[in-house]
Homo-oligomer: A and B are copies of this chain.
């Protein structure tokens, strides 16, 4: 261990983005955030580079867009895995708010 501590974070507020775990030195590399997308909003196309990502959808329905093209719909009660080096966007194309948590982690 290098001083990381057990930590409990509450999902609060209605901000578009709330940081939950900020990476080192708070963790050994893992980052996490809480995202709320209103109808019509999207995160913006991005890649996590060499890291991989799990997205836990808490509420709503989201479009998963890969390389600019619609790939699939993902919703509440589903977990989405995004491999390293994968350009992706997440869009709320439904008419209610969507909420999710992402966890991004380094790979060996």
Contacts and interface: CB of A to CB of B under 8 A. Distances in A.
Interface of A: 1, 4-11, 20-21, 26-30, 32, 34, 52, 54, 56, 58, 64, 66, 71-72, 74, 77-86, 88, 101, 103, 105-108
Determine chain A's interface SS by DSSP, over half rule. Answer: strand
Given A4-B81, A29-B52, 12 more contacts: A8-B64, A8-B79, A9-B80, A9-B81, A11-B78, A21-B54, A27-B83, A30-B54, A58-B58, A103-B105, A106-B107, A108-B108
Given A1-B84, A79-B9, A108 B28 contact: yes
Copies in the complex: 2
A83 B101 CA distance: 19
